[in-house]
A and B are shown apart, each in its own frame.
Chain A
Amino acid sequence: MSTPSPSRPWSRRKALVALAAATVGTLSLAACGGSGSTAAGPSATVSAPTDKVLRLSFLQDPGQPPDPDIYYAGQGLLLTMNLYEGLLQYKSGTATPTIEPLLAESWKVSKDNKTYEFVLRKGVLFHDGTELRSDAVKASFDRRLAVNQGPAYMVTDVASVETKGDYAVTITLKAPSTIFLDFLASPYGPRMMSPTGLKANAGDDNAATYLQTHDLGTGPYTLTEASVGSKYAMKAFDKYWGDKPYFQSVEIPVVTDSSNQQLQFGKGELAAITHDLPTSAVASYIANKNIKTYSLPTLQSSYMYINPNTPFGKGKANRVALQKAVDRETIFKQAFVGRGKVADSIYPPNMTDTGGAKQDIGYDTSVLKALAPSLPADAKTITIGHDSSSPDNQLVANLVAAQVTALGLTAKVQAYPTSQIFGWVSDVKGAPDVLVTGGWPDAAAAYTWGHISWDPDAGLNYLHCSDPAVTAALAKGLATGDAAAYNEAGLGALGTGCFYNLVDQDDFVVAQPWLTGVEEAHVVTAPTALLIAKLSVG
């Protein structure tokens, strides 16, 4: 038997009171602050930094190195677009995609759309000190082909790149193309890299290893840190040929949790959040008068794909009935209010030469409601899939499921990783009846979306739905640039019952009130990114 301790223990009552007090205190600390200091914004105005350091953040790591011949995703454009420049660019600060000069001062296109002549800007230096000359164009195009990663397809139809003196270059294509200038202006298009730097750091992988942590561009910023999963940083290039940026350095830590990111923004530690804010936070930010919010035009849309290879989707009447039964207005209000609109066109918003391709389907639940009871048992239950990385699409999938369930179908919602969704392009087995996912084209030309979405075996034709008439119309559009052809292709795709553009999405950006130039820094073709040189304080 143990000897009782001489010390007097706390009574159970005292202990419980103390524990309760501690719990209440902790909860009070966590809860207090009122609506103005929720995760969705600061309670008081935060002053501008005086150190000329811009602090942004990535939500998750960009995922691929900031090498413009490899990078082919979303948020890393914030790096590649500020480190590198191409011959052309889309004008920033406007919803209308407008191609304008960048490293090329001027250009001429042959009548057959096969030969493109460029005159390069003089006095441009790469970050390694090499001057931009025509040999850099050839070296950059050659490297893109040699690396042969995602964006390489944009230059596979280039037959030759000929230098004509130091500042002129002629690019000849294998076949006529009306969208080649769009490729050059695309945020994923060929960027100019220092030929000296490429040669010196070639290694055995065309400098791919070197460019994981360095850059060889001409942009207003140079890469100073690329710690995967942790932090990226850039500093202003003091010999930049254009207007000198206000911010002398940019720090972009990787924050893996959106709530944490919002808290840091609320405390003024981040100048802005440029992407991927959850729907719940958007409304709070819009209501918060202590910060600035921006809904900036993009080419993004949230799409619904209906699988023609499942018991439900194999009947075109079923697919069309489902299209009609989806209440897009409700989806917009519940998932995208303040950052987009119900989609008018089967094409993503703001694309050029689409000819309209209006989605005049109308909302009508009666067709599906009448159809549902007569469906065979294996067609009455459908799976609605969504990209597991997107909370927005999950919400949309849930809303669609609720809507069709009310009409007599049994719907279940399932998340799929991005790589699995891409995998259906090779093998559609196992794909859901309906897929809700978002996306944007690589460039503003109508063909860049139509081809990749509706042509057989195309990269975004996840559920294997195509129509020879649509393919023919797209080919005609590519050769002629005829908007009527793209309109025909779009309406044809819509008519298959496989594709439906639900909502046109904007980039929703929140920024501290002192950050200026956000709208001017945004490019319609480059979601989630900003041209940092256009940002300032005020």
Chain B
Amino acid sequence: MSARGAVTGGVGPAAATAGPAAAAALRRVTGVPLVRLLAKRLVAAAVIVVALATSVFVLQRLSPLDPAKAMLGPGASASAVAQQRAKLGLDDPFAAQLGRYLVGLPQGDLGMSYRTRRPVMTDLGAFVPATAELASTAIVLALLLGIFFAVSTSLRWPGASVLRGVLMAGASAPAFLLGIGAILVFYKQLGWLPASGRSGITDLPGGPTGLLVLDGLLAGRFDVVSDALKHLVLPALAISFGPAVAIGRVLRTSLSSEERSDYARTARAKGLTDGAVLRRHVLRNAVGPALSMTGLQVGLMFAGVLVVEQIFAWPGIGQYTAQSIPVADFPAIAGVTLLLGIGYVVINTVVDILQGLADPRITT
């Protein structure tokens, strides 16, 4: 048996339980623990939705803003404003308004936007894919950069300190500043990448996902895919630097700790290279904290997304929210708030499941 084969047989805590672990992981995915986790999270999501909806309605109640007046403008007579308030149900008791809203939620009824005059659900259907595409691209970039950062510094690759420096410098700047800088360099001076919007193509595929890259692929429209990717690069990079460093630093610390462990030393003693030890054994054991950090960063990333969308004229929920707040469009604000709350629960649930799969010692 070669050293390589011996080590493949398992020396690390996770690898030591590789066979049973795989089965355990599968059971987690298909079995009772996962169902229990999902049920817990579903209840948590419901509680969060009710709490957020109540908070938004309380804020609306306390707010001096008058949506009816904002909708109708200065020329509207007092009677027209009163009629509009009645039409919007703004004169109803607080409990009635909140109750009506909560009853509508399971049916997907988030009310009507005062600004766009469309159902909030329709608006979210139009704006969320743009944000989802941007955020998912940013998190993929953040993960790639973070892993590269951690592994390169851990293995002391040539140029690792330059990458570290660049990432640290990028992460220390706010996302909006990175965005503006990226526009100046890559749009204004070099002319390589576009500075605003999701696409410059007029006849875009009409779905089915609203994610332009995916829709372009599904429609066989590679011009759309290429154009959408070009539009994604700058805003996604601007958002990803901060999370990349956070993830990378946690992963690097975790890798360093695992590399000093007995099983890693044993693996190296058996003849495996540093890279092989890292790839086959250390990485899996070290990834748990990084996954936790990823979950946190995805939540925080939305704050960056909302700002960056404004700079890049990205038609996502950040832009939708920014334009809804000044005109007291409470249904729109509430819709986005609930969506983000639910999204946070979902992301953390996914992270918990991934942690369980990566390291069977972690229980959900």
Contacts and interface: CB of A to CB of B under 8 A. Distances in A.
Contacts of A427: 64
Contact of B71 (A7, A23, A150, A233): A150
Q: How large is the interface on B (under 10, 10 to 19, 20 to 34, 35 or more residues)?
A: 35 or more
B73 interface: yes
Given A10-B160, A12-B161, A452-B74, A256 B327 contact: no
Contacts of B325: 417
B154 to A, nearest CB: 9
Interface stretch (A119-127, A135-143, A258-266, A347-355): A258-266
B157 A7 contact: yes
A242 interface: no
Given A227-B315, A228-B126, A64 B189 contact: no
A430 B64 contact: yes
Nearest to A19: B165
A429 B76 CA distance: 21
Contacts of B180: 259
B66 A423 contact: yes
B189 A208 contact: no
A155 to B, nearest CB: 11
SS of B interface (majority): helix
A438 B221 CA distance: 47
Contact of B117 (A12, A65, A460): A65
Interface in A318-359: none
Contacts of B116: 63-65, 212, 228
Interface in A249-285: 251, 253-257, 259-260, 263-264, 266-267
A199 B126 CA distance: 28
Interface in B172-189: 180-181, 183-185, 187-189
A212 B116 CA distance: 9
A1 B262 CA distance: 9
Interface stretch (A26-34, A173-181, A397-405, A471-479): A26-34
Report the contact-size class of chain A (Cβ under 8 Å from the partner): 35 or more
Given A231-B197, A426-B66, A30 B161 contact: no
Contacts of B292: none
B183 A260 contact: yes
B189 A229 contact: no
A107 B184 CA distance: 56
B312 interface: yes
Given A267-B188, A419-B326, 17 more contacts: A7-B158, A15-B159, A63-B116, A63-B327, A150-B71, A152-B80, A153-B75, A188-B75, A229-B323, A256-B313, A260-B313, A263-B183, A418-B70, A419-B327, A420-B65, A423-B65, A452-B75
Interface of A: 1-3, 5, 7-10, 12, 15-16, 18-19, 22-23, 26, 29-30, 32-33, 37, 60-61, 63-65, 70, 72-73, 148-154, 156, 188, 208-209, 212, 227-231, 233, 251, 253-257, 259-260, 263-264, 266-267, 388-389, 417-420, 422-427, 429-430, 439, 442, 452, 457-460
